[in-house]
Amino acid sequence: MLADHETSPGSICLHIEAGVPLVKNYESIASIIFDLTAGTVDIAEGPPCEYPYHRLSLNDCLRRWAAASPSLSQGEVRRPERGLSHN
C-alpha cells in the first residue's frame, strides 16, 4: 500500500541513504492505515515495502489497549492539560 518511492526524498516510504547527513536522513519505521468505515487498522511493523500489513479489528485494539491501561478500563478518561504551566 503506502510503499511509494517515486518522489524520494519526499516519498511515503523512506530509507536511510548512504552519504546523507544524519540530520537529513529519514526512514519509515512503520505504516498504519485506519479504515473507520470497516472498523479495521492495517499495520506494517517496518518500512511498508519490506514488511507485510497485518489487519486488526479496531474493537480488538481498543480492548487490548484498555486491558493494558487499568484506569481506562474503569472508565477514567485522561485529558491533556491545556495551556502552559506557570511554576
At 9-43, the pLDDT tens digits run 667 788 888 888 888 888 888 889 999 999 999 99
Mean pLDDT across 76-83: 56
Q: Degrees (nearest 5) of the Cα angle 15, 55, 10?
A: 25
Give the three-state DSSP class for 54: strand
